[in-house]
Each structure stands twice: as C-alpha cells, then as structure tokens.
A = this chain, B = another copy of it.
C-alpha cells in the first residue's frame, strides 16, 4: 500500500507515523522545503518516544518507509491513498484538491484531515469528486485511534469503504459519519459535555477541579474502554431500553432544569427502540450478563493501570523504562 501524506506540519507528521508504523510506503510532501526538512527528525523523535512505551518496535524500520519529497507529482506516483493536512484555509483546500485530483492515480482515494470545512466545500465540481472525503484524526492519531470518515453527498461508498478498510488495516478505528455535520461526532459530544460543565460551574454547583475529578475518577473510567451506549446498555438488567425506561425521565428532567437551553421532545420511544436494536445486534440479550462481567474485569484492570501510572508519577520523574518496569 502506498500512501501520500500532503503537508508536513504536526498533523502530517503524525499521519506519516501512523501509516509508516502500519506498514505502508509513505511519501511525505510539503511545499515549504524547511517544513519538509525538519519533519523527518521531528518524526524520529516522536517514534523514539513511542518505542520507549512499546508502541513501536523498530524506529529505523518505520523511518525507512518514509520518502520526503518537495515534488507533488513525485509524491503521488503510485499512491493508493492521499491524506492532506494543510492549514485550515478554504482556498488552500480548494487549490490542493484540484491538484491532487489532477495528479493522483485514478484509483487513489483523496482524504483531507480538515475539521473546519465539509468535503462538499472544497471538492464540488472536481472530475474525481466522488473519490474525495474527510478522514478527520484526533490529535495525535498515533495514540488516539479514532478517525472520523465523512464524505460529501457525491462521495462514493467505494471511497468511504476504501478509507475505512485502510484505517482498520493500520490499527486505527474508523467511524463513518453518514451525513455532513459541523464537528463530526467527537467534538459535538465533547461540546455537549463541556456545555453542561460550564453551566454547572457558572451556577456555583462545583469548581473546575471537582468537575474534572468527577470525570477522571468516575465517568471517564468506563468511557476509556466502552462508549456511552454500551455503558447504559450494561447498566440495566435488560439493556438500553430498560435503562431508558428507568432513567430516561431523570435525564430529561436534568435537561429541563438546565436553564441555558430548552428541551426538545427528548428521546422518543422509536429512537430508544432503534438504538436498542443496534445494541442487540452487537450484543444479544443472552450475552448481557457475560459482557457486564467483562466490563467489571476491564474496570479492575484499568484501576490497576491507573494506580501504577499514578504511583510511577508520584515516586519521581522516572524514565519511561523505569515506569514500564514497575
């Protein structure tokens, strides 16, 4: 698999690590030759950190897969997938996608890292518009696996599937966002929680440290290994619908009392059924109890992990080697 990384800033460097670590041949292009020159040593430093934690086995092996070039056509030769990470300026995106579509091999998928614009804003009218999409990483993608894939209305399902399959093959976790929406999924969820967090502080219920502890020593522990739907699905004897029956009213009442916004119609029975159906496809009712036991095991492992990590931090500023040896 040959991948072209377009733009050698922080995000481009991180993508180069992800693709090269995943076994792809990676050409790294930047129009700014100084950015390009400094990118490889910066990548080497980050790889060395990853190696200290056992997240990369051989730094040189990964570096060997990288080919920096300041010639865009060269960078694109033979590429199956292109990941663009230029600055968040719409005119730049429009221009580079025009060039990418003209220069990249016909079968190549063209993806942008942008979180600022929908794909439809910079791919409309391109001859190859159907092969363009957004593959939005979370920073840094070599540590945070989720990649949000979001096409324009004209993006082909083949392009989405190709990107999804590549991401899976290199150890990322692609999530398909089915329609264009500002912020995709991750930032919207973060925003919703922040909105409530700001409101709680503004109204004097808690301070920043207390709110943070509520997440880092509570709510966030489960969310580090299962999502919010799985969490509630495992928190009532018969799963998600059961949970909504028991606690849906409570959540709606919070929403109503949070006077910085008005509640809409809440969670309709149809919506609860849809979500419950999706959960039951993932996890049949008969396996709920077993999965709850799994959750408890994972929580115990996570607590052990957190205790070790906190202990290592507290004892002294240990080297990563010493931390791992504990």
Interface residues of A (CB under 8 A from B): 49-50, 53-55, 138, 140, 143-146, 148, 173, 175-179, 181-183, 185-198, 200-230, 232, 250-251, 253-255, 257-265, 267-268, 271, 274-275, 278-279, 282, 294, 296-306, 309, 313, 320, 323-324
A263–B196 Cα distance when bound, in Å, is 12
Do A200 and B216 touch (CB < 8 A)? no
Q: What number of copies of this chain does the assembly contain?
A: 2
What are 19 A-B contacts with C-beta separation under 8 Å? A50-B300, A146-B213, A146-B214, A148-B214, A175-B210, A178-B205, A181-B205, A183-B254, A187-B250, A193-B193, A194-B232, A211-B228, A211-B229, A212-B228, A214-B227, A215-B223, A223-B224, A297-B320, A298-B309
Do B55 and A303 touch (CB < 8 A)? yes
Q: Is the interface of A mostly helix, strand, loop or mixed?
A: helix
Contacts of A225 on B, CB cut-off 8 Å? Answer: 216, 220, 306, 309
Q: Told that A216-B223, A259-B264, A261-B261 touch, could you supply 12 new A-B pairs with CB distance under 8 A?
A: A53-B303, A138-B219, A143-B296, A144-B299, A183-B250, A185-B200, A187-B250, A189-B214, A202-B271, A212-B228, A216-B224, A216-B227
Do A192 and B190 touch (CB < 8 A)? no
The smallest beta-carbon distance between A235 and chain B, in angstroms, is 8
Q: A55-B303, A212-B226, A224-B224 are in contact. Are A264 and B274 (CB under 8 A)?
A: no
The contact of A217 among B146, B214, B274, by CB within 8 Å, is: B146
Contacts of A230 on B, CB cut-off 8 Å? Answer: 212, 216
